[in-house]
Structure 1
């Protein structure tokens, strides 16, 4: 009986491992738990007041969509109240976050007239709405270095640290827990209703 049991066990082991031994593909058994997909927090923006900077605003939003997974920026539908309003004016670019993911961005012509890149301005100001503070002075590789990188800087993309910070700011949207909206020690989300003049 003992030999028969040992032989049966050896046969079972060989049958299970034979695909691995002879070049087949091993397949994992289903875990039984449904696979969870995590959705990004959707933020809408209204760039109807951004005048000649409309395409720069759309590109700035697309850059954030390409760069992070926890949040997605989309143009608001007609009649829909947007989370983010984007306006053009003759002043300096600035953002007025009212809470994480909400506020107003101003694409100021003063910086554009001085030679700053419009898409970099747009992505930078949207970064404030996503909870990022200015990092001045800073290198061109930092989107949030803003104007301190000079007019020659046309880097429009957040660096790894900036991307990670936005992912962390909106982590609750992916896990089902509330998003961070409180003021924290720097670096962290910008406090509510604080004008950020770049």
Structure 2
């Protein structure tokens, strides 16, 4: 399968940018080659759906708001009641989920070609994201693995915390270039690297 063209296009300029005199505050990169599946459980089937997702991915999940797990290139996170993003670097993710999730549990849709995933990492990642989104990015309010759905003006984003200093942002492909430029402007004051 051929790799899809980046929706960020010519705005993706590798190297160091902004005020890097005191070092690089954040690193930005587009994550490619991912399968992104949205799973929605019927209201009385959430626990069974989480078990099925765990069976297909190997990621055990607890039924609580914002839940999430990360293991290497695989991740799962909740962003609304009974709604989850399931992400993997393997193209057979949808097939594995379809074999584990029956129609009695809920629905699923492949969003792979509709989203761009931007990874923001580094010691100033919380600071930069707090400039763009009205949510608390501190680790006590946004633990590792957990996810949130939010907006930056009219641009919807799903965000998952990957580790202490790393977040993955899922944005619609049609807004990816505009959001990438906004993210770069927000990061200029602390210096940023595009990989």
TM-score with structure 2 length normalisation?
A: 0.28
Greater strand proportion:
2
Greater relative contact order (Cα 8 A, min sep 6): structure 1 or 2? 2
Greater helix proportion:
1
Give the number of the structure whose alpha-carbon radius of gyration is greater: 1
TM-score with structure 1 length normalisation?
A: 0.27
